Structure 1
Amino acid sequence: MGARKTAIGAAAIGAAVSAGFVVSGTADAATTPSIRTVFAGDDAYVSSTRTKTNFGAATQLVVGAAGGETSTSFVKFATGSFPAGSTLSNARLILPYDGTPVESRVSVFPVTGDWNEGTITAAGQPAIGATAVASAVPRAADQTVTIDLSKVVTQAGTYAFALRSASTTAVTRFQSAEAGVQSGPRLVVNYAAPTTAPTTAPTTAPTTAPTTAPTTAPTTAKPATCTTGALLVPSCGVLWGAAAGGFTDTPRDTALKDWEAMTGRTATIYHTYHKGDEKFPTKAEIAMTQDKAHPRVLLLNWKVAYNTTWAKVAAGQQDARIDAWAAYVKANYGTQKFFLALHHEPENDVNPTAGSGMTGKDYAAMYRHVILRLRAAGVTNAINVLAYMGNEKWMAQPWWKDIYPGDDVVDWVGLDSYVSVEKNYYHFGDFGSLLDRQPTGGGLGFYDWSVKNHPSKPIMVAEWGMYHRIAYPTSKAAAFSTVVPQLAKHPQVKAIVYFDTAADNSGDRNIAVNSTADSLTAFRQVAASPIFNVELKN
């Protein structure tokens, strides 16, 4: 099924960019887009002659009558919440054509009763109001028809409508959300949030002073300041991070600075990748984490076993490599703390064959050996992250549990996980499904597994992203809108690090936050959340 439905869901929120769109340049200021675009969470049509047939998977919505068959279409939208005190205006339903429309009036009717696109039929359709709330006449010269719903959509909520055509001799077909690239019905709403009162003092003093002092001090509590502790775990809130410019030649520090400017927040965690005998942090990485105006901490991935095996590392055959890196870190990075992930996503490289040197137990032995040797060499500023791939296929393997090297050498449990925003494409989902992916065959999802088995360990989403195929640009707004609500439901997650690239290593997937205009708008809203206001104590 197609790409459009991906921008939908029960919490579908997408903000479209317009000439009047304004976003603050700082994360602490409120972000108030003037337009929100929401795509249908459910859409389907029903037939008067095929009364028990469900057409929820069709790529078309059909209205009108032809050959003795009358078709009615249904659409449902969830607007999501708006800033307190917002005023909604100029709500309009936009329906893109599939083929040439009949120039006969299309009317919108209110719908009562629950329904969903997977089960609705003419025999079981919800009640339709007797009076249309709005209508418009499609024009063949246009690509869409717009129907004014300003009198109906006046506040946040879920809205369901039935669409009917006045034509009795032909049908009009609209693209459904399953049709593919940027298709399907959409609801576009203008809204205005209240302006923030000025914080400056009045220019003139009151003419009379109060005759009595207040008997008690104000009771309003000052908001808690979220700060990081010894293992960089925030006392409250969630650490915000990124790796930008993936699979390009752009210097990573430059890519990250550009990404921060685009998204409106400094990435507290700066994620970089190294292997073998490379010496790191590099001068550029050190400079990025010593920029007092933009506090950052490094997340360094290191494939220690590059050109060898985990078993050989565990047996001491790469001790010279480990010792050389330890000496470099002490000489060039002092005591400044950093996150260290040894060979992230190890599941992808496991060879369970005995003697391969790359079994799950070999990984755990390698991990323990490296961390203990680094500690013995005096590297005490490394905060260790075990970054799982978290793929349901790997989680179901009998060797998956062997990877964990022990609580004494793991400070954070990490997860690298991605979701598609193309419905019915591989790993379609939202931020919650990214965290809760379950093993093939069932069992605890990743988050629940980690909390149950390692309750003392904070969870870092060391890589995450929302993607669509490059050839099918699709709004990520709905998926992005789930991030903050899902973090509230998963309190063990203490850090999230976005991996941003316009083309992944397969060359097929776009993970960039700005792959569509409304995707970037929605992502900026995520970045602006106060949950990420964490002061780095390093």
Structure 2
Amino acid sequence: MTGVVAAGGGFALTGTANAATTTETTSTYSTDDAYTSSSRRTVNFGAADKLVVGREAGETRLSYVKFTPKIASGATVTAAQLKLPVESKPVAATLSVHSVASSWSEQKITAANAPALGALVASIKPSTTDATLTFDVSKVVTKAGTYAFALRSSATTAVTRLRSIEYGATTSGGPELVVTARRTTTTPTTAPTSTAPTKAPTTAPTTTPPTTTPPTTTPPTTTPPTTVPPTTAPGECVTDALLVPSCGVLWGAAAGGFTDTPRDQALKSWEAMTGRTATIYHTYHKGDEQFPTKPEIAMTQDAQNPRVLLLNWKIAYNSTWAKVAAGAQDARIDKWSAYVKKNYNQKFFLALHHEPENDVNATAGSGMTAKDYAAMYRHVITRLRTNGVTNAVNVIAFMGNEKWMAQSWWKDLYPGDAYVDWVGLDSYVSVEKGYYHYGDMGDILDRQPTGGGLGWYDWAVKNHPTKPIMVAEWGMYHRTKSITDKAAAFNTVIPELKAHPAVKAVVYFDTASDDEGDRDISVNSTASSLAAFKKVAADPMFKVTLGK
């Protein structure tokens, strides 16, 4: 005892200090992860659900991960492990981890702008049976901060695929940094303080039995979603001035993705294979390109097979959304306006920078925040209208990914009802049970944000009840080396569309190999898949006439 302090009618003791050592292990998941390709140097793969390393068919791929672990001030890191879950059997070749600068983001990194590889941190040679690859990064991770690593493989004829954070959620399923830290805390040893009461109570406490009021039960009021009620005209379903069908659902497609086949020819072949003409023909453009092109125009002027264009335009190509909103690309907008007015007077769908979530950089001043996107959208639509482009029907095309839907900025993407005619969704499911986004048409429409909340369809109907919904891209896939029948998933399309009446258009994205080269979204990957899809295409709900 080092001292005694008198206090009123009692006493208090102060004592010596004790030192206590605690050890804590914490897990942090990647804030950013992506891979790069030597043969597709300007392509970003930040939204991929996998990381790829190695060299195959002349293409070298590196992967990058970034973490921001929280480590208490004064704590000593005793161990730090980088854990990477394996997506498929790893190649038995040395994998090495290098430190890199942390200035990159998963939305922007490409082989052309990736940071240079720094010092070697750790290396392992995995077994082909490993489910998780573990690297000791203790010599680098020593305190709280941001740490970024690059992963490379010595393999020259094969690649190893790992799971990115997009495979699971922001708190599971992807790259993980496990940190063990020791911390010493000092606490005083103090005897309890006892103070005698100055006066004993003279009144016994009054005990009043609780008053119980039976609960009042009010039956819940259920308000059905507000949608645009279809007006069924006798005889046929016809589109109106904003291309909304009076009944039924518009049928569309983009075919031949990531191939050299001309898109118009690919679509015609797809239509012949599936048995129905695509009323919506989906194409993609960027920057200063002038479109619709002559082949695209010809597809919409086929009297026997009338179609309407869905044109994607990345107006901010080689710029930023903020710069576009500030007028930096007005010359680009004006030139395109003049081209459209001169060459094309039919109605068309216009989607400005589809899937914007994948390109958001939430850092203030980046020029690519969600609010920058909304401002860009408003500016472009306002200028097009001022320039006399009156035949564009505007679609905002969200990704509908659970990770992005859970972001605080997601709601800021919407530019306002005055600028949007249709609310769109780009979404896909796997038909491989247990694989990322396994599901069916209901999962495409009703995917919920990480942590829970309204599914995408319910969110759209609740927040934008007057807007028709377009599934602007959808598809059902399996890995190219894991061929799986899609028939069961395709069989859910018609029932789910009937259960989601605000959906007025669906546009399939067909390719036998996606931009990562690993997913087959084609409708004919098996004979039974094609047979099931043809039944979907033949449904009379897709018999819609384009209005004049």
TM-score (norm 2): 0.57
Q: Which of 342, 358, 380 in structure 2 is aligned with 1:331? A: 342
Distance in 2 between residues matched to 1:455 and 1:419, nearest whole Å = 26
Cα displacement string for residues 407-433 of structure 1 (whole angstroms, at most 9, x for unaligned residues):
000000000000000011000000011
Distance in 2 between residues matched to 1:295 and 1:427, nearest whole Å = 35
1:297-312 mapped onto 2 (5 Å cutoff): 297-312=308-323
2:491 pairs with 1:451:
no
| Shift, 1:222, TM fit | 10
3-state SS of 1:487 partner: helix
Cα displacement string for residues 429-486 of structure 1 (whole angstroms, at most 9, x for unaligned residues):
0001100000000000000000000000000000000000000111000000000000
2:464 pairs with 1:468:
no
2:331 pairs with 1:320:
yes
Distance in 2 between residues matched to 1:314 and 1:222, nearest whole Å = 42
3-state SS of 2:257 partner: coil
Cα displacement string for residues 155-190 of structure 1 (whole angstroms, at most 9, x for unaligned residues):
xxxxxxxxxxxxxxxxxxxxxxxxxxxxxxxxxxxx
Q: Which of 481, 484, 505 in structure 1 is aligned with 2:491? A: 481
Partner of 1:25: none
Distance in 2 between residues matched to 1:397 and 1:222, nearest whole Å = 42
| Shift, 1:403, TM fit | 0.1
TM-score (norm 1): 0.58
Partner of 1:435: 445
Give 2:298's aligned amino acid. A
2:410 pairs with 1:400:
yes
| Shift, 1:307, TM fit | 0.3
| Shift, 1:224, TM fit | 3.6
3-state SS of 1:241 partner: strand
Structure 1 stretches of at least 4 aligned residues deviating more than 2 Å after TM superposition:
221-224
Q: Confirm or deny: 8 A CA contact 2:256 2:267 kept in the other structure.
A: yes
Distance in 1 between residues matched to 2:414 and 2:233, nearest whole Å = 41
Distance in 1 between residues matched to 2:492 and 2:420, nearest whole Å = 29
Partner of 1:4: none
3-state SS of 1:413 partner: strand
Distance in 2 between residues matched to 1:306 and 1:390, nearest whole Å = 23
Q: Which of 388, 412, 415 in structure 2 is aligned with 1:378? A: 388
1:20-35 mapped onto 2 (5 Å cutoff): none
| Shift, 1:247, TM fit | 0.2
2:285 pairs with 1:285:
no
| Shift, 1:537, TM fit | 1.1
Partner of 2:424: 414
3-state SS of 1:378 partner: coil
Q: Confirm or deny: 8 A CA contact 2:258 2:511 kept in the other structure.
A: yes
3-state SS of 1:455 partner: coil
Cα displacement string for residues 39-91 of structure 1 (whole angstroms, at most 9, x for unaligned residues):
xxxxxxxxxxxxxxxxxxxxxxxxxxxxxxxxxxxxxxxxxxxxxxxxxxxxx
Partner of 2:229: none
Distance in 1 between residues matched to 2:543 and 2:433, nearest whole Å = 33
Q: Which of 502, 515, 534 in structure 2 is aligned with 1:505? A: 515
Cα displacement string for residues 194-234 of structure 1 (whole angstroms, at most 9, x for unaligned residues):
xxxxxxxxxxxxxxxxxxxxxxxxxxx99641000010000
Partner of 1:516: 526
| Shift, 1:501, TM fit | 0.2
3-state SS of 1:419 partner: strand
Distance in 2 between residues matched to 1:384 and 1:342, nearest whole Å = 8
Identical residues among aligned pairs (%):
79
Highest RCO, 1 vs 2 (Cα 8 Å, sep ≥ 6): 1
3-state SS of 1:385 partner: strand
Partner of 1:271: 282
Distance in 2 between residues matched to 1:347 and 1:408, nearest whole Å = 21
2:241 pairs with 1:230:
yes
| Shift, 1:321, TM fit | 0.1
Distance in 2 between residues matched to 1:242 and 1:233, nearest whole Å = 17
Partner of 1:354: 364
Distance in 2 between residues matched to 1:499 and 1:267, nearest whole Å = 12
Cα displacement string for residues 277-333 of structure 1 (whole angstroms, at most 9, x for unaligned residues):
000000000000000100100000000000000000000000000000000000000
3-state SS of 1:278 partner: coil
Distance in 2 between residues matched to 1:449 and 1:319, nearest whole Å = 33
3-state SS of 1:236 partner: coil
1:89-168 mapped onto 2 (5 Å cutoff): none
Give 1:402's aligned amino acid. D
Cα displacement string for residues 346-383 of structure 1 (whole angstroms, at most 9, x for unaligned residues):
00000000000000000000000000000000000000
Distance in 1 between residues matched to 2:291 and 2:335, nearest whole Å = 11
2:250 pairs with 1:254:
no
Distance in 1 between residues matched to 2:438 and 2:458, nearest whole Å = 20
Partner of 2:7: none
Give 2:330's aligned amino acid. D
Q: Confirm or deny: 8 A CA contact 2:233 2:246 kept in the other structure.
A: no
Partner of 1:98: none
Give 1:234's aligned amino acid. P
Give 1:288's aligned amino acid. M
Cα displacement string for residues 472-508 of structure 1 (whole angstroms, at most 9, x for unaligned residues):
1110000000000000000000000000000001110
Give 2:282's aligned amino acid. H
Partner of 2:434: 424
Distance in 1 between residues matched to 2:357 and 2:414, nearest whole Å = 11
Give 1:475's aligned amino acid. D
Distance in 2 between residues matched to 1:473 and 1:444, nearest whole Å = 33
Distance in 2 between residues matched to 1:482 and 1:223, nearest whole Å = 28
How many residue pairs get aligned? The number is 317
What's the C-alpha RMSD, in Å, of the aligned pairs? 1.0
Give 2:431's aligned amino acid. V
Give 1:295's aligned amino acid. P
3-state SS of 1:452 partner: helix
Distance in 2 between residues matched to 1:280 and 1:382, nearest whole Å = 13
Partner of 1:525: 535
Partner of 1:154: none
Give 2:541's aligned amino acid. I
